Amino acid sequence: MKAIDFFCGAGGMTYGISQSGINVLAGIDNDPNCRETYEINNPNSEFIETDIHELSEEELARVTGIEKDDDSLLFIGCSPCQFWTKINTCKNKSLESKNLLGEFQRFVSWFRPGYIVIENVPGLLNNKKEKVLDDFLNFLDSEFYVYDHGIINANYYGVPQSRKRYLLIATRVSDNIQIPEEKYDKNLTVRNSIGVHNGFGAIADGHKDKTGFMHTTALLLEKNKKRIRKTPNDGGTRLSWKDDPELQIDAYRGKDTIFKDVYGRMFWDKPAPTITTRFNSLSNGRFGHPEEPRAISLREGATLQTFSKAYIFRGAREASIAKLIGNAVPPELARRIGSSIRKNYETVKVRN
């Protein structure tokens, strides 16, 4: 089987799909900051840097060699999700991400690949006002694709992180397809992923790791240093210093029930919270190390996303690298999706 990874980012989906034995011919993204990271780690996949609105079907065929009506071809569409996320963002700035599914549909309509995968935030399914997903599902019906879709948690797919996502798998090759089966694993915890016992040396905030391992942490303001030290290990929250007039934050005075995770520490024996694009910032979620007085490092975040410790990330700034990691599809989730599709395809081949 072969695949095209639309909106490929840093290559999490490409990496995982490749591990399942599917040859990812190319990844497409308009962000030049993704190129070096993608190409270093996925040398057999071509990085096509372009805006999908400006890419023609004929050009994609020419560059990749793919053909129409190829049963062994998989199209993957994990488009940027700012418009659909529940996190407060400026919707005007993210409007351009709203209709990327329609652009993806243009290529599906032209090539009619044997298989399709879409991964996105749950808001793509749950938003009742917008009909973008409904339109795409109606299109699949009209093209005689069968599909399974719904909200999944990556923690049931080998990822030590609670990460709810919308997942769709479709095919016109088989008369039946299903999202991979959920498998609960109590060992998918922070303790079994990071920590000194897993090769992550004890470091301070502001530590800069110049090696490819990139065990690098953000520097904390003095007040935040005091806050994290006063936050109990293993799941402590900002409520531990809510009555300290020096440390309490004005916006949270008397509001102990909102945003309880910000400035919090991760639990050792639970999955990590969703690794977002700002996971290396103590103030943006429960991203405090379970016991060290700092936010988690770039490599710790990547590991909780199931990137190999050998996966190399390149970026001009720590924030841009954190964005690459947080936006990525966890490779282990991708591998399981790919394995499920390969099994479906092989079954069809045997039957025919």
Rounded to 10 degrees, what is the CA torsion of 177, 166, 114, 326?
-130
Bigger pLDDT: 259 or 187? 187
**Active-site residue, from 8, 34, 78, 81:** 81
What pLDDT is attached to residue 97?
53
Domain spanning 2-180+331-351: CATH superfamily: Vaccinia Virus protein VP39 (3.40.50.150)
**139-165 tens-digit pLDDT:** 999 999 999 999 999 999 999 999 999
Least confident of 94-103, 189-198, 204-213, 320-329: 94-103
Bigger pLDDT: 33 or 90? 33
Residue 147 and residue 305: Cα distance in Å, rounded? Answer: 26
**What is the percentage of the chain residues whose pLDDT exceeds 70?**
94
What pLDDT is attached to residue 87?
45
Q: How would you classify residue 269: left for phi > 0, otherwise alpha for psi between -120 and 50, otherwise beta?
A: alpha
Confidence of residue 128 (pLDDT cuts 50, 70, 90): low
The Cα diameter of the chain in Å comes to 73
Average pLDDT of every residue of the chain = 93
Confidence of residue 53 (pLDDT cuts 50, 70, 90): very high
Residue 80 and residue 277: Cα distance in Å, rounded? Answer: 12
**What is the percentage of the chain residues whose pLDDT exceeds 90?**
84
**21-36 tens-digit pLDDT:** 999 999 999 999 999 9
What pLDDT is attached to residue 89?
47
Least confident of 12-26, 61-75, 177-191, 252-266: 252-266
Residue 137 and residue 170: Cα distance in Å, rounded? Answer: 10
Average pLDDT over residues 326-334: 97
Residue 19 and residue 335: Cα distance in Å, rounded? Answer: 6
Q: Is 8 assigned a catalytic role?
A: no
Side chain identity at residue 40, one-letter code: I
Confidence of residue 83 (pLDDT cuts 50, 70, 90): very low
For residue 249, pLDDT over 90 is answered with no
Confidence of residue 92 (pLDDT cuts 50, 70, 90): low
For residue 207, pLDDT over 80 is answered with yes
pTM score, two decimals? 0.93
For residue 81, pLDDT over 60 is answered with no
What pLDDT is attached to residue 63?
97
What pLDDT is attached to residue 255?
79
Residue 109 CB: number of other CB atoms within 10 A?
Answer: 12
Rounded to 10 degrees, what is the CA torsion of 194, 41, 44, 170?
50
For 150, residues 6+ apart whose C-beta sits below 8 A from its C-beta are 125, 166, 167, 179
What pLDDT is attached to residue 335?
98
Residue 169 and residue 265: Cα distance in Å, rounded? Answer: 35
Sequence spans of domains, the chain: 2-180+331-351
